[in-house]
Structure 1
Amino acid sequence: MRFLRSLTLLCLPFGATPCVAEVPNVVTDIGPVQSLVAMVMGDLDTAQAIVPPEMSPHNFALRPSQARALDGADLLVWVGPELTPWMEKATAALSGEARHIRLLGVDGTTVLSYRDPIKAAEHGHDDHDHDDHDHGDHENHDHADHDAHEGHDHDAHDHEGHDHEEHDHGTEAHDDHDHDGQDGHHHEGTDPHAWLDPQNAAVWIGAIAESLSEMDPENADTYRANASDARAKLDQLKQEVAQQLGDQENLGFVTFHDAFQYFEHRFGLQSSGTVSLGDASQPSPARLARLRDAMEERGVACAFREPQFTDRLLNAASEGSTVTIAVIDPLGVNQEPGAGMYPAIIRAMAQAMSDCAGQ
């Protein structure tokens, strides 16, 4: 019986040696989260990420092998339905017996609301009310904490069964919309890209370690010691990047979609605009026109494309300008999976920004 896996005791015949609890089987949504789990688990085991880093988690289509991985999980660690609305239905059906950590609900997490970076830059400040508020009053292991999201309209995001490879993330469709919106999507609620703030990653490391310690008490000391080391490394990473980007608050840049708000907020940067909003939904022609105007007015130096999306619209918005198009990657396509992946993602993003400023 799979749901007893984490409680199963492995013993030699006739009780010749003490019983040893099996290490929990951990599954995550995305590579950066898998990396945080790997920091905590160390040499004990590895976690499996469901969404490959070259794919967008916003509209990923679950494959049978990935459904089986969910079904075999003892612990699911995921950002939440705000990032992967399709996973909420899948987890209810496939992994209802597993423990869950919904990271956006972990106490101490800095949570920001969706924004429109073009509007924010026009007003010279963030286009939302955020107070670096920390989520409290959450049960980290209780799948019922998703109930608070049932009223959120995911219908416009429901891509379950959507063929990711054939539809190019939806960026080729609906170009005849000329309203300044994104095809009826409602961009309210929580921005889910919270892993790009290393302070959040440090908070989540603690929650992961405590969950694993409860499930596997024989290895609790290892999990907690690994978590302590990981938090120290993340604090060092945060200081390193803050020093690298400390004088870049006036850097003019745009990105394909608004995935980098948490990184900007932590390190004192501000985007001048994006092709798409935070859910990577289809932009209207009016929005692209506004972005072109914003890039010209603010002297934008760099436009950052993302490996998970076509760069067609970003190229169109930059056409005729002197903007340099570079790569910035929130998911780590070119990074080695494992404990080193998360720091490598953050360092690569900081280097891309720094290189942009140095041009």
Structure 2
Amino acid sequence: MNKLLLTLGVSALSPLTMAKPVIVTSIQPVSMVVAAITGDRAEIEQIVSSTASPHDFALRPSDLRKIAQADTVVWVGESLESFLEKPLENAGKEASSIEWLALDGMSLRDFGEEHHDEHAGHDDHDEHAGHDDHDEHAGHDDHDEHAGHDDHDEHAGHDDHDEHGGHDDHDEHVGHEGHHHDGVDPHVWLSPDNAKVLARAVTKRLASLDADNAKYYQANLAKFEQGLTTQDATIRAALNKVNKVPYIVFHDGYSYFEEHYALNHAGEVTVSPERKPGAKKVAELRHEIEEHKVQCVFSEPQFSPAIVNTLLEGTKVKTARLDPLGSDIKLDMNAYFNFMNSLSDQFLSCLG
């Protein structure tokens, strides 16, 4: 009888002892960096699907439960994911969350900064200064309204997410209270250096949550950093062959990547992807294409390429797709490496 009770007791406790930390992430690029560290020792729950936009997103009740039950929420920051600010506060998760933009060691850029000194003729970027429409991702036209959030006028639907059991807060991340990044370009995942900063913060957090696997997480961090260093050199060598070729992007959301690899950004189709450029802007872009001898205009998979096709009608300028979210990248430990390789290949396909 005693043996039976002991067996039942061990069986009842085993799910608790085997429970994995639950990390809730905001968007796909965040999940990619987190996955490089977690491996199979933690669960990742992503809020915004890889084909949706963080700009006009609305949380569902299941997302709010996910936030409340998470060990840690990892997000880019209020300037990109404003829909998370109130829910994090309401759930008491601000101190235990990791806000990428607020981490020490980050290299941040403001919208409106000149891209590169060596890129001649790029003095017409003043239309970006301080713009607060960081809606680079997502043309999804099926945005149902979702209940359960305060003061958010975002409207985007997304796939269902299962909820996980409750977990206590663990304060490891420097609090992001008071960290306002108005005018800061939030596309920080496009810099391998910034990816390393987040990976270190995630490693520290996981080690505090799951001390038994601390060495595993630290080994994954070392592997990630070494892999990024090697990959960075390979990508740089490839892009150096085309870094004088002028191009236009769909929107000004690639500056971290462009700055890091010294690419020749000549302009963008639109400041905000949800605003179609008018006839005047199209005329200006056509002039820019001729003046700078632009060889490629990039579109994005989240938006219709119609405006790009219209812009290039009658010209011999090439076009290709850039995906700033890596929406087709499988989420595993190599996801961030695969994303950066994919983005590099997308540039090379049109500039080479």
Match of 1:199 among 193, 198, 212: 193
Q: How does 1:5-84 map to 2 (within 5 A)?
A: 13=10, 20=17, 22-84=19-81
Change (3 A) 1:116 1:311: farther
Deviation at 1:231, TM superposition (A): 0.9
TM-score by length of 2: 0.75
Match of 1:307 among 301, 305, 315: 301
Change (3 A) 1:288 1:88: farther
Deviation string 1:33-88 (CA, Å, 9 cap, x unpaired) is: 11111111112123122111112222223233333322321101111112122222
Cα distance in 2 between the residues matched to 1:118 and 1:318: 24
Say if 2:241 is the partner of 1:247.
yes
Cα distance in 2 between the residues matched to 1:220 and 1:156: 36
Deviation at 1:100, TM superposition (A): 0.7
TM-score by length of 1: 0.74
Match of 2:285 among 287, 291, 305: 291
- Residue of structure 2 equivalent to 1:282: 275
Deviation at 1:125, TM superposition (A): 6.6
Judge which range, 310-319 or 295-304, deviates more: 310-319
Give the alignment's Cα RMSD to 1 decimal: 3.3
Change (3 A) 1:228 1:352: same
Amino acid across the alignment from 1:262 = Y
Deviation string 1:187-237 (CA, Å, 9 cap, x unpaired) is: 962000010111111121111101111222222111111111111111111
Cα distance in 2 between the residues matched to 1:99 and 1:223: 18
Cα distance in 1 between the residues matched to 2:134 and 2:345: 35
- Could you tell me which runs of 5 or more consecutive residues in structure 2 were left unpaired when the two chains were aligned: 1-7, 136-150, 159-180
Amino acid across the alignment from 1:226 = N
- Residue of structure 2 equivalent to 1:91: 88
- Residue of structure 1 equivalent to 2:162: none
Deviation at 1:253, TM superposition (A): 1.3
Deviation at 1:22, TM superposition (A): 4.1
SS at match of 1:47: strand
Deviation string 1:116-151 (CA, Å, 9 cap, x unpaired) is: 7799966447958xxxxxxxxxxxxxxxxxxxxxxx
- Residue of structure 2 equivalent to 1:217: 211
Say if 2:153 is the partner of 1:160.
yes
How many residue pairs were aligned?
302
Cα distance in 2 between the residues matched to 1:221 and 1:22: 18
CA contact (8 A) 1:194 1:200 kept: yes
SS at match of 2:48: coil
- Could you tell me which runs of 5 or more consecutive residues in structure 1 were left unpaired when the two chains were aligned: 1-10, 129-151, 166-186
| Seq. identity, % | 32
Cα distance in 1 between the residues matched to 2:245 and 2:345: 13
Cα distance in 1 between the residues matched to 2:242 and 2:24: 37
Cα distance in 2 between the residues matched to 1:314 and 1:86: 30
